[in-house]
A and B are shown apart, each in its own frame.
Chain A
Amino acid sequence: MTSSANPGARKASEERLDEIRKAAADAALPLRNAPVSHPQIRGKESYYGLPVLKAPVWTWEVALYFFIGGVSGMSAALAFAAQLFGGEAALIRAALFVALTGAVLCPILLIADLGRPSRFLNMLRVFKVQSPMSMGAWILVAFSGCVFVALVAFELTQRGYAIPLVIGIRWAAEASGALTGLFLAAYTGVLIGATANPVWSHNRKAIPPHFLASAVGGSGAVLELIGFLTPATQLLGFVAAVAETVLGIYFELSRLPVNSPLHRGKSGWAFRIAGTLAGPIALLVRLLSDSASGRRAAAICFLVGALLSRYAWIWAGVASAKDPEALFQIQRKA
């Protein structure tokens, strides 16, 4: 420390401090003379800047679940739309398989994130309309069931069991699979929007469109990567990329303090990179090249962007919970 830093100073007295200061001034070394700010609470300040709210405790599984749930849920809707408008069977099957894969992966991810995974069945103890998470648990169950039945029924119709009963079941299952799938893709936005978290609740009207845009583009992109480079999937890709771009601009322009996690720090960077990948870049690549490799590249960009975007929203929630001033400012305006 100071004594060893200055070899000339050996006198243990007040003079030594003065000598050091003088030497430092002579050598133009900066002294740490910044005004001391000890913890004090002034005016309407928070309690020493400590967070008011608790940060979300969800880990990587939940963001991944948002992504996969959106893609697979929308995939079921695509399957139904394709079925309605005479899409090729291979595509419908693929879409249903994507939906089923999601239906299997999503519960695993959610159960893994629970503090007490062995008690996952407790999610089905109640059905609470006012709890998006309760609704989500049931939606997931329903979705899994519907998609499974739909796929089985579909396969049956393809292998010569196209009797009215099976077809009827297939239609019902595909329709309800689409309905529950759309709920699956959409409810996650409500899940985080209807909370006490400032950046989430403030953006509760914008998050569902954002999640759904990712779902539309993501499910289309998956089909493209599987090999279905059709006009339908191209349109899905375009519309989704445009939506992402528009939303990206909207979030970027909103400079309220509550939205600073979308512009600053780890969450801000992730959000912008994600938005750029899924929005302007995916759009640009699709515009510049409609070759197979170009479309696949655009699909990959979109998927990466959409996945990162879910993480960005979670990280933004963590950052927002830690900012007491953001919370107070929203409430004082109210």
Chain B
Amino acid sequence: MLNSDAILIMGSNMAENHPVAFQWVMEAKEKGSTVIHVDPRFNRTSAVANMWVPLRAGSDIIFLGALIRHVLENELFFREYVLHYTNAPVIIQNDFGDTEDLEGVFSGWNSEKKSYDPASWMYEGAAQDGKKSSAPKASESEGGHTQHGAAAMPDLSKYKTDPTLQHPRCVFQLLKRHFARYTSEMVERYCGVSEESFLRVADVYCKASGPEKTGGICYAVGWTQHSSGVQIIRCAAILQLLLGNMGRPGGGIMALRGHASIQGSTDIPTLYDSLPGYLSMPKFGEESKTFQNYLAKYKPRTGWWNNYDKYIVSLLKAYYGDAAQPENDFGFHWLPRLTGDHSHQGYWLDMMDGKMDGLFVMGENPAVAGPNSGMERRALAKLKWLVVRDMVDIETSSFWRSAPEVQSGEVRPEDIQTEVFLMPAAGHAEKDGTFTNTQRLLQWHQKAVDAPGDSRSENWFMFHLGNLLREKAKKDPQPKNAGLLALTWNYSTEGPHQEPSAEEILKEVNGYTVADRQLVPGFTALKADGSTACGAWIYAGVFPKAGENRANQRASKDFYGHGWGFAWPSDRRIIYNRASARPDGKPWSERKKLVWWDEAAKKWTGNDVPDFVATKPPDYVPGENAEGDNALAGDKPFILHADGLAWIWVPTGLADGPLPAHYEPFESPVSNPIYPNQQVNPVAQSKTRAGNQYASSPDARFPYVLTTYRLTEHHTAGGMSRTLSHLAELQPEMFCEISVEMAHELTITPGEWVTVVTKRGAIEAHALVTPRVQTLEIEGKLIYQVGLPFHWGYTGLVKGDVGNDLIAISEEPNVRIMESKGLLCNVLRGRRADNVLGVKELLEAQKVAP
């Protein structure tokens, strides 16, 4: 970020939540970079930015779409980059229909199934089933956390382009047409941002791009926690690609993750639909009937993912060791199959319906942090057993005796049959392990002290639990236990508590050759014949040989930090960095050079590890039937895509469209101004049911826009901060932030208690009245916004009402995240207990036209 000439922070409060990383933004600013912060509230990031633009929560795609339009209309895009490195020149099939023509939906919409058939979004000329296989053609675009939510893998190596970017069906023209009505005037009317401000942002940011300059974008849950979250991020991707900022120093998109190692928890996933290294969990059905079917779906003919089989086989070897052989498809059939929505929201609703017996909750506090947390707490009461692993007695483990609904008498502990086990957990200084941060950087942390009493690490817990289960499985030789028994589970242990060796686990993750147990130097050494094992191909290389734990290295030797930790993949600090050089291999400019082709040495070199086959020359042309990475030319930096191009247009893999389209949040004060006939994202799920109801858009009962956020002083659901006096005293009580005008109109005295109500429930908070929350003029009327932090709960040194009680359970189409930014609420003066009647009226009242 120190290299950025402009930094756009949107959907993020970076200084607040990533203060240590933010030092680089401050340094960039001191060097002359312009920091732009677009956010409904003026918070700690805005205070130190160069520009703050207040924006209506939920209107991000209008704003970003207008930026895209600005770039296109004013021809500010980085032409050569766009032409060679993106799919802008690619021509799309002629049966594609845009939202412009189909009243807010794309072609392929099936209103019964509520999903899209993506066939019409495909490149013209790309074969639908390029490989001869029995792979089924699913007709649903499924999305998901991995690369491949698509139907049978189409062959994207075959497509037609128009290098003049004029063809009416080339991506570039389709893009232009799609965003034509996302004007600065729309931004003023529906985002609450004056045209002048918008144009200033556009001007500054666009000027900070091109061969000599780069701009970076940072985002966080201000973007992701929306019913169109993925598409908001897609807007940023399109913008950065048009401006030529991807794969270049100071460019890129920084996805600021929610806490210390959440990047690691998607890499070695705790996500239900992925396997380590973003491989796909098999779905029940045709695709997983045979291993060949599975590979046909997920292993494309071209691009780096052609190595998919090497990675999945090596993973299976790591899981099952000698029990994984070619004859039994390496144990592929022991992997679980997805049968539906097993996301947090998915199974929690199943829990609510009494379909779950038990749950392990580890390092999470859904009673406070879950959406519609009141409903989540009620769902917990339907379990037979609940195991909570944490360092303190959090709200999730004490829901049955101290939740607000228990305190009010609405729910009685005697009626709750759930048996709750609270297992004490060790903190990060009490165990070995790694963190993987937003920069994909693995850093090892060492155990400094013994955990007190019975507190144990996750490794210890899972390892010994696994041993106990395997013991039981040995006595119960059913087919379903075969996989459990086949697992390699023989880590060495040390110490009085028999702590499994974290280093051994990291080595297993790195990978090794099976015959001699030699560690592999990187993922290029992995094979599909069962001779290698690897816990996560993207991490291969972190422990390349005995004694060399690169995650534990702390000797930074250059500007990019090589020698300090290990950034996957292969310690490439900026991925897709081939794009920092021209098609001919020379840097775009001296100022922004990163990697380049060394003609003498015949390899790629530079200031970073090249994210490219080192010996592939820039002028390489693939042969007719080349496969894998060999099918990609020497000027195609985006090697994980089957076409080697960056995708301005997403032909396959997203559930809700090849391009972002603006839809309003589930609860909005306005109708969708861009597509009046399609209010919300058609593929997003509202999960409407008793206890999870929505206001209408707009709704006179709930006239204010609600958004949630974090504070620096607290950490997520507060289990680690509201229990420590030094943090608890910094922000002891729940509060909301409202504008001066709103306080005046509702006669709210600064500091007094108010009750914030949504269709899901009511909570109380102090009213912090401040001009940092602006009243916005939307479509001629004044919109008040209410901001709420979400850190408080009913246990700990400092307590308060649970903000997430107000949020609904909803699912974004691709990753199933809930919408917590951009809801509707009402605000009543006084405490919750004093407003019981008023709240009841609001929740039961019929919808009234505003």
Q: Do A and B come from one complex?
A: yes
- By a beta-carbon cutoff of 8 Å, the part of chain A in contact with chain B is 1-4, 10-15, 17, 31-33, 35-39
Contacts of A13 in B (CB 8 A): 700-701, 845, 848, 850
Task: Choose one: B701, B746, B769, B837; the contact of A4 (CB below 8 Å).
Answer: B837
| Complex contact B747–A32 (CB within 8 A) | yes
B76 part of interface (Cβ distance < 8 Å): no
A91 to B31 CA separation, bound complex (whole angstroms): 84
List the one stretch of B22-30, B545-553, B827-835 in contact with chain A: B827-835
Shortest beta-carbon distance from A20 to chain B in Å: 11
Q: Which residues of B contact A (CB under 8 A)?
A: 700-701, 703, 740, 743-744, 746-750, 769-771, 828-830, 834-835, 837-838, 841-842, 845, 848, 850
Question: Contacts A1-B829, A36-B748 hold; do A12 and B841 have CB atoms under 8 A apart?
Answer: yes
Which residues on A sit within 8 Å (CB–CB) of B841? 3, 10, 12
Please, which residue of chain A has its CB at the minimum distance from the CB of B745?
A17
Main secondary structure of the interface of A (DSSP, over half): loop
A-B contact pairs, 20 of them (CB 8 A): A1-B829, A1-B830, A2-B829, A2-B838, A3-B838, A10-B841, A11-B848, A12-B842, A12-B848, A13-B701, A13-B845, A13-B850, A14-B703, A14-B850, A17-B746, A33-B747, A36-B743, A36-B769, A38-B740, A38-B769
Measured CA separation A16–B747 after assembly (Å): 15
Contact partners of A1 in chain B: CB under 8 A: 828-830, 834-835, 838
CB-defined contacts of B703 to chain A, threshold 8 Å: 14
Of B829, B837, B838, chain A has the most CB atoms within 10 Å of the CB of: B838
B848 cross-chain contacts in A, Cβ below 8 A? 11-13, 15
10 further interface pairs, Cβ-Cβ under 8 Å (given A36-B740, A37-B750): A1-B829, A3-B838, A12-B841, A12-B848, A13-B700, A13-B701, A14-B850, A36-B743, A36-B769, A38-B743
Tell me, rounded to whole Å, the shortest Cβ–Cβ distance linking B466 to chain A: 54
- Taken together as a complex, chains A and B put the C-alpha atoms of A4 and B703 apart, in Å, by 21
By beta carbon, the residue of chain A nearest B700 is A13
B750 interface neighbour in A2, A3, A36, Cβ under 8 Å: A36
Q: Is the CB of A38 within 8 A of B750?
A: yes
User: Which residues of A lie under 8 Å from residue B746 when comparing CB positions?
Assistant: 17
B744 contacts which chain A residues (CB < 8 A)? 35-36
Residues in B neighbouring A10, C-beta threshold 8 A: 841
**Inside 8 A of A2's CB, which chain B residues have their CB?**
828-829, 838
Question: A39–B828 contact, CB under 8 A?
Answer: no
**Distance in angstroms between the alpha carbons of A37 and B835 in the assembled complex:** 25
List residues of chain B with CB within 8 A of the CB of A12: 701, 838, 841-842, 845, 848
A177 CB, min distance to chain B CBs, angstroms: 52
Q: Which residues of B contact A38 (CB under 8 A)?
A: 740, 743, 750, 769-771
Q: How far is the CB of A35 from chain B (nearest CB, A)?
A: 7
Cα A228 to Cα B744 in complex, Å, equals 70
* CA gap between A3 and B703 in the complex, in Å: 17
Q: Which 3 A-B pairs have the closest CB atoms?
A: A12-B845, A38-B769, A3-B838
Chain A residue at smallest Cβ distance from B746 = A17
| Least distance between A11 CB and chain B CB atoms (Å) | 7
- Give min CB distance, B52 to chain A, whole Å: 18
Query: How near does chain B come to A327, taking the closest CB pair, in angstroms?
Result: 25
A234→B703 CA distance, assembly (Å): 80
Q: Which residues of B contact A3 (CB under 8 A)?
A: 828, 835, 837-838, 841
Tell me, rounded to whole Å, the shortest Cβ–Cβ distance linking A302 to chain B.
47
Measured CB to CB, the closest approach of chain B to A331, in angstroms, equals 29
Taking the closest CB of chain B, its distance from the CB of A1, in whole angstroms, is 4
Question: Which A residues are CB-close (under 8 A) to B842?
Answer: 12
Residues on A with C-beta less than 8 A from B700 are 13-15
Separation of A14 and B845 alpha carbons in the complex (Å): 13
Least CB distance, B260 to chain A, in whole angstroms: 34
